[in-house]
Amino acid sequence: MITGINNKTFLTTLSHLASSVGNSSPTVKSNGTALPAAASASAKVIFGSQTAEIAAVYSMSPTKISDAAKASTQADSALSGLMQLGLSSEGVSSLSGLGGLLLSNYADNQGDVSQALTSLGLDTNTNFPTKSAVSLNITTQSGSVVHLNLTRQSDGIAVELTTEGGKASDDEAAEIAKLGNAFQSALNGLSEKPPRMDVSGLTQFDSSLIKSVDLKTDLSRGDLSQQSLNFHADDKERWIGYQDNNFSLKMTSDTSNPSLVGTAAEQQAALNAWDSKFDKARRDGHGDSDQMAMLKTAFHALNKTQPKESSKASSPSAIQMGGDGKVQVRGLNDFSLSLTETEKAINPYRMDEKESFAYQASQSTQESTSHDGSLSVKQTLHTHLTASWYQALDPATPLSLNSSKNSQNYLYHTVDNEETNATTFNYNAKGLLTSIGNHTQVNNVETVRKYVLGELVDKTITPEKYERNNLLTMPKDK
Task: Supply the pLDDT for residue 62.
Answer: 86
Structural contact between residues 459 and 411, judged by C-beta atoms closer than 8 angstroms = no
215: DSSP letter:
E
Report whether pLDDT(213) > 50. Answer: yes
Q: Name the residue type at position 48.
A: G
Band (74; pLDDT cuts 50, 70, 90):
low
Q: How confident is the model at residue 127 (pLDDT cuts 50, 70, 90)?
A: low
Write the pLDDT tens digit of every residue in 419-448: 999 999 999 998 888 999 999 999 999 999
8 Å CB contact between 106 and 140 = no
DSSP 3-state percent helix, strand, coil across the chain (nearest 5): 30, 40, 35
- According to the model, what pLDDT value does residue 41 have? 67
Specify the 3-state DSSP secondary structure of 312.
coil
Average pLDDT, the chain: 85
The C-alpha angle with vertex 34 and arms to 31 and 38, in degrees rounded to 5, equals 105
Mean pLDDT check: name the lowest of 267-271, 342-346, 452-456: 267-271
User: Distance (Å, rounded) from C-alpha 308 to C-alpha 18?
Assistant: 23
Q: Return the higher-pLDDT residue of 230 and 324.
A: 230
**Residue 294 vs residues 65, 201, 242, 299, 443: alpha-carbon distances, Å:** 36, 15, 10, 8, 27
416 has pLDDT over 90: yes
Q: What is the pLDDT of residue 285?
A: 98
CA atoms within 13 A of residue 129's CA, in its CB half-sphere: 6
As a whole number, mean pLDDT of residues 40-49 equals 75
pLDDT, position 25: 43
Interatomic CA distance for residues 309 and 24, integer angstroms: 19
Residue 31 pLDDT exceeds 90: no
* pLDDT at residue 3, rounded to an integer: 35
How large a percentage of the chain has pLDDT more than 90? 63
Contact 242, 294 (CB under 8 A): yes
Rounded to whole angstroms, the Cα distance separating 1 from 274 reads 9
Average pLDDT over residues 288-298: 97
Provide the pLDDT for residue 478: 54
Dihedrals phi, psi of 398, to nearest 5 degrees: -65, 150
- 422 and 316 Cβ atoms separated by less than 8 Å: no
Residue 320, Cα to own-chain centre: how many angstroms? 19
Neighbours of 130 (CB within 10 A): 18
Higher-confidence position of 313 and 64: 64
Separation between Cα atoms, residue 208 and residue 288, nearest integer Å: 40
Q: How do beta strands 156-164 and 113-118 pair? A: antiparallel
pLDDT at residue number 214: 97
pLDDT at residue number 121: 57
Angle (nearest 5°) at CA 393 between 388 and 396 = 115
pLDDT of residue 75: 57
At 347 the pLDDT is: 97
Where does the pLDDT of residue 86 fall: very low under 50, low under 70, confident under 90, or very high at 90 and above? confident
- Asked if the model's pLDDT at residue 128 lies above 80, the reply is no
**Helices and strands, number each (H, E), in the chain:** 10, 16
DSSP 8-state class, residue 272: H
Distance CA 68, CA 115 (A): 8
Cβ atoms of 277 and 322 within 8 Å: the answer is: no
Comparing 244 with 86, the larger pLDDT belongs to 244
Report d(CA 308, CA 445) in Å as an integer: 42
Instruction: Look at residue 437 in the predicted model and tell me its pLDDT.
Output: 95
- Does pLDDT of 317 surpass 60? no
Among 72-81, 288-297, 421-430, the range of highest mean pLDDT: 288-297
- What's the pLDDT score for residue 330? 62
> Distance between CA 195 and CA 203 in Å, rounded?
19
Lowest mean pLDDT across 156-170, 252-266, 370-384, 401-415: 252-266
10, 180, 283, 296 from 273: Cα distances, Å: 17, 32, 16, 11
Mean pLDDT for 15-39 is 45
What is the structure's pLDDT at 30?
41
Proportion of the chain above pLDDT 70, given as a percent: 82
pLDDT over threshold 90, residue 76: no
Q: What is the rounded distance in angstroms from the CA atom of residue 420 to the CA atom of residue 405?
A: 42
| 96-125: pLDDT as tens digits | 899 999 999 999 999 999 998 887 755 555
* pLDDT given for residue 66 in this prediction: 76
